A = this chain, B = another copy of it.
Amino acid sequence: MHLYDMVKAPNPRRVRIFLAEKKIEIPTTQVDIPSGENLQPAYLAINPRGVVPTLTLDDGTILDESVAICRYFEALYPNPNLFGRSALEQAQVERWQRRLEFEGLFHIAMIFRNTASAFAGRSLPGQGPSLPQEPSLVTRAQAMLPPFFQAVNAHLSNSRYMVGDHFSIADITALVMFDFARWIKMPIPTEHSATLRWYAEVSARPSAKA
């Protein structure tokens, strides 16, 4: 197996933290997204979609989408469990994964890709259509993030981790989300004490350095 990775980008970091929690080490190659290395022929020969992270298997199969890569490792190396143990826990991990993606990460990425100068003219990841940056998307995303951050804080007021007392991939996603939000100058609000308490605990885990 081989992982194509980019140290600074949020989605590859989700995979790296996941692997660190499971103490899995695999060979890795860095791909520089801001300079467009992921859209050059050499990388497109590995993954025609041009997205990072990509995992290549020994039989030549390629697997992309960060959470799909994590599920693959979860099935191969079930301990420690990171996708939930009981039926309800698995459902709640999925529920928070979706909320963190659709109501959080997605909007942060929308703001970042539609404002960062490195992505002018290619506001979508990978080999998507070349669309110009669109200011109305930024305004919209900026309106939607604060109520979601508030919902997360309310949730964490009654929950040690994103899903009860069980550390899971939902915590990894939330950690990466809040760190990504700092790029767009939307740090955890100082009055969100439950989120800050959770953040201190999760970011102190050795895996958070991955």
| Residue A183 lies at the interface, judged by CB distance under 8 Å to chain B | no
The residues of B that contact A192 with a CB separation of less than 8 Å are none
| Residue A202 lies at the interface, judged by CB distance under 8 Å to chain B | no
Would you call the interface of chain A mostly helix, strand, loop, or mixed? helix
| Residue A32 lies at the interface, judged by CB distance under 8 Å to chain B | no
Given A63-B88, A65-B94, A68-B91, 13 more A-B residue pairs with CB atoms under 8 Å apart are A61-B88, A63-B95, A68-B92, A68-B95, A71-B94, A72-B87, A72-B91, A75-B87, A102-B106, A129-B143, A129-B147, A131-B144, A134-B140
* 9 closest residue pairs by CB, A with B: A75-B87, A68-B95, A72-B91, A68-B94, A65-B95, A68-B91, A71-B94, A65-B98, A136-B136
